């Protein structure tokens, strides 16, 4: 008998665990297995039906562009002399840079601009605010510190207005205490005294709520850069409203375009404005020079100067126009904050000094640039006519050069403003992105089966150990 006991114990410690035996175990414990699976499925159903918000997604696709020098711009930059020199200035900027676009799209400031454009903050606090309104009634006072910031966010979804002594979109933390009290006092439902209001606490809570809601909105925004196809996709997830999701995705594209227009093309715009101002001045000066010359000729009944003098006038005008063009070129480089010791500025200074020296010699009747006749050798009337004709020639040449460069500057500004092309606008989704209820139920079923199997295995193991212990304690049974 004592020899058979160890054999029986060994048989119990090493049960047969093949698949058929395990199925028999599951069937024997089917109530435990089915109960656990059902419990997990009910939990998954309740979670996906009542606790997960319905989210809708939309996406817009853009293609970053590269700047190229071609067409009219390329031809203008190949113009010789002062025109070509001015066209070679820093009037253009870098083209589309995908990394820069992605970085801008991911910034907090761009997300805040989109949110304020669509009064999104009011929608983001509406649920919490409605709960407080149902709980506290139509009125509130200084002690309702949890409600006051939400009321302020809902009342100013697009940013602060002039009544608060701040520009639209100004930071809440920049408000003075009196401005905060005025804002609270203007809220519908306010029924307290402003003197008892802690303006600092309200301002801080207002700011925190705004930033928290903005952070939640940004969590639903995705910016993906496909390096192979060289496209950027901006996707937005929004709760319960597919139209709003599409509108927000498209708003991101518009805000990106506005940002690039206001910031990226700053240098091109500055150069365009500078040349435009000089162009307008040259236009006015040319009209004045033509008027003075015409009046002088009518007064003295003059028709023209001798051929040699007329040639000198033309050449002097060209020299002065070249000098003015080089000076404008130097001014543009100075605006671009080019280092004073840089090679471009040094070369310009040499050219300016050379042209200025040629002009001085020409006015004294020396050199071969305009002939050998000195201005002082002319009679008084002809000398005055010479000066007027020279002034007109200078303004005509300078006006022509600046007109060309004004067109170049406008082209460069437009080229920099458009740094990307919209390939696909976002459209409202026809199906929700989440929760995926069927998928969630299948996942719940799988999890329930795994948990149930583990529980059945644990129960069977405990039962086997109890049987083994009982057999060991009663070897003769």
Q: Which residue bears the tokens 């300016």?
A: 352
Nearest Cα residue to 152 out of 394, 163, 340, 23:
163
* Per-residue confidence (pLDDT) for residue 100, from 0 to 100: 84
* Per-residue confidence (pLDDT) for residue 170, from 0 to 100: 54
How many CA atoms within 13 Å lie on the side-chain side of 140? 24
Token code pair at residue 84: 């070509």
* Per-residue confidence (pLDDT) for residue 320, from 0 to 100: 72
Element (H, E) at 234: strand 231-239
Return d(Cα 65, Cα 230) in angstroms, integer.
10
The model scores a pTM over 0.85: no
Token code pair at residue 475: 């070897």
The pLDDT tens digits along the chain (477 residues) read 444 444 444 444 445 456 777 788 888 888 988 999 999 999 999 988 888 888 999 999 999 876 444 433 343 344 444 444 444 443 333 334 788 889 899 999 899 889 888 888 888 888 888 888 888 888 998 888 899 989 888 888 776 655 555 444 456 777 788 888 888 888 888 988 888 888 888 888 888 888 898 899 999 999 999 888 889 999 999 988 999 999 999 999 999 988 887 776 566 777 777 778 877 887 787 777 777 766 766 665 554 555 545 556 666 667 777 777 777 777 776 766 666 667 777 777 777 777 777 767 666 654 444 444 444 444 554 556 656 666 777 777 777 777 877 777 777 776 665 568 899 999 999 888 888 888 889 999 999 999 988 998 888 888 888 888 887 777 655
Cα dist from 229 to 226, 332, 365, whole Å: 6, 38, 67
Token code pair at residue 155: 């009342």
Q: Which DSSP symbol is given to 132?
A: H
Coil vs helix vs strand at 81: helix
Residue 324 CA, distance from chain mean position: 39
**C-beta neighbour count of 310 within 10 angstroms:** 14
Q: What is the DSSP string of 264-332?
A: ITHHHHHHHHHHHHHHHHHHHHHHHHHHHHHHHHHHHT-----HHHHHHHHHHHHHHHHHHHHHHHHHH
Residue 199 CA, distance from chain mean position: 33
Element (H, E) at 64: strand 55-64
């Amino acid at each position: 008998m004592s020899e058979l006991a160890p054999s029986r114990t060994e048989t119990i410690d090493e049960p047969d665990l093949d698949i058929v035996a395990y199925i028999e175990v599951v069937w024997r414990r089917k109530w435990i297995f089915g109960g656990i699976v059902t419990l997990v499925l009910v939990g998954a159903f309740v979670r996906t039906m009542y606790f997960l918000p319905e989210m809708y997604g939309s996406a817009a696709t853009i293609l970053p562009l590269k700047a190229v020098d071609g067409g009219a711009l390329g031809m203008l930059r190949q113009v010789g002399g002062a025109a070509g020199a001015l066209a070679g200035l820093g009037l253009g900027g870098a083209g589309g840079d995908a990394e820069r676009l992605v970085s801008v799209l991911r910034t907090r400031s761009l997300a805040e601009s989109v949110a304020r454009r669509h009064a999104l903050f009011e929608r983001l606090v509406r649920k919490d605010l409605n709960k407080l309104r149902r709980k506290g009634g139509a009125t509130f006072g200084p002690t309702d510190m949890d409600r006051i910031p939400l009321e302020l966010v809902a009342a100013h979804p697009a940013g602060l207005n002039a009544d608060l002594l701040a520009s639209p979109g100004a930071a809440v933390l920049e408000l003075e205490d009196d401005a905060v009290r005025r804002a609270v006092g203007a809220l519908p439902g306010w029924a307290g005294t402003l003197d008892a209001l802690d303006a600092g606490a309200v301002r801080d809570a207002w700011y925190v709520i705004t930033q928290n809601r903005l952070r939640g909105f940004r969590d639903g925004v995705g910016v993906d850069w496909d390096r192979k196809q060289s496209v950027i996709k901006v996707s937005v997830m929004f709760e319960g409203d597919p139209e709003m999701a599409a509108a927000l995705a498209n708003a991101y594209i518009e805000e990106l375009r506005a940002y690039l227009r206001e910031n990226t093309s700053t240098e091109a715009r500055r150069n365009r404005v500078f040349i435009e101002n000089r162009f307008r001045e040259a236009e006015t000066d040319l009209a004045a020079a033509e008027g003075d010359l015409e009046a002088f000729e009518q007064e003295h009944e003059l028709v023209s100067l001798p051929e040699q003098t007329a040639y000198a006038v033309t050449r002097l005008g060209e020299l002065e126009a070249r000098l003015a063009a080089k000076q404008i070129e130097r001014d543009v480089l100075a605006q671009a904050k080019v280092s004073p010791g840089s090679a471009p500025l040094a070369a310009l200074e040499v050219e300016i000094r050379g042209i200025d020296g040629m002009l001085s010699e020409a006015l004294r009747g020396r050199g071969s640039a305009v002939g050998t006749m000195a201005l002082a050798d002319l009679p008084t009337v002809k000398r005055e006519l010479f000066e007027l004709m020279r002034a007109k020639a200078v303004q005509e040449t300078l006006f022509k050069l600046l007109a060309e460069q004004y067109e170049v500057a406008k082209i460069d500004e437009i080229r920099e403003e458009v740094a990307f092309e919209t390939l696909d606008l976002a459209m409202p989704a026809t199906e929700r992105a989440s929760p995926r209820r069927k998928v969630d139920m299948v996942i719940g079923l799988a999890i329930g089966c795994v948990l149930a199997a583990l529980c059945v295995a644990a129960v069977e193991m405990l039962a086997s150990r109890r049987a083994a212990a009982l057999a060991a304690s009663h070897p003769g049974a």
